[in-house]
Amino acid sequence: MSMSGHRLRRMLANSGEPPPTEIGQAYGGGFYYGDITIGGVEYYLVIADKSAEATRQWKTENSLSPGTDSTVDGWYNTNNMNNALHPAAKYCRDYRGGGFSDWYLWAPEEFDVAYANIRPNGTNTPTIFKSGNDQALGSDTNFWTSFEAGSGAAMARFIRSTSYVNASKTTNHYARPIRRVRK
């Protein structure tokens, strides 16, 4: 799926809410979890409510998925696999939390921001994201990223670990939609 730069900028434009000031703050249809720069543009990262966390396959078959090679831009990757063959990506793109339609499956570097700021047992993790609390990331499972590792594998990460694994695309792992809002 291709998008014009103008349409993408409009979709990712600030929602009109005051900018977030604290990690874990309700914002943009979810919760603010950090910042990222993509292509020289700064964004706020927003993670969907815990109720949106779901298990899905990355792909229904073991074959290559062109355009899923960005380690930083999950929007790009996800839009290149927004179809029934890619259940995790399609689930994230179909999510409509807060009335927004620009949710997607995170890229590894977008996940790294979550690991740094909202992992369940992190020292500075806001209370709502700590283990056992309302928004905590599932701490005993892998989360898919939108990055392909080969014809039969995609990159996933256990939230308690600092490393990624190449997991079979046809295995169910967690997907939790995110979106980004231009600063």
> 77-123 pLDDT, tens per residue?
999 999 999 999 999 999 999 999 999 999 999 999 999 999 998 99
Secondary structure of residue 151 in the 3-state scheme: coil
List strand residue ranges (DSSP E) for the chain, in order: 26-27, 30-38, 41-47, 54-57, 142-150, 153-158, 164-168, 172-175, 178-182
Q: List, for residues 28-63, the tens digit of each pLDDT value.
A: 999 999 999 999 999 999 999 999 999 999 999 999
Q: Which residue, among 79, 65, 90, 40, has the nearest Cα to 169 in the 3D structure?
A: 65
List strand residue ranges (DSSP E) for 39-127, in order: 41-47, 54-57
* Tokens describing residue 23: 């990690």
Is 50 exceeded by the pLDDT of residue 1? no
In this prediction, residue 30 carries a pLDDT of 98
107: phi then psi, degrees, rounded to nearest 5: -85, 165
Secondary structure of residue 24 in the 3-state scheme: coil
Is 80 exceeded by the pLDDT of residue 174? yes
> Per mean pLDDT, which of 3-7, 8-12, 26-30, 138-142 is the most reliable?
26-30
For 173-177, what is the mean pLDDT? 97
- CA 148 from centre of chain: 14
Is 80 exceeded by the pLDDT of residue 21? yes
Q: Which residue, among 169, 147, 28, has the nearest Cα to 76 in the 3D structure?
A: 147
Instruction: Tell me the H-state helices in the chain.
Output: 5-12, 74-79, 87-94, 108-118
Is 70 exceeded by the pLDDT of residue 4? no
Contact between 142 and 135 under an 8 Å Cβ cutoff? The reply is no
User: 0.75 exceeded by the pTM?
Assistant: yes
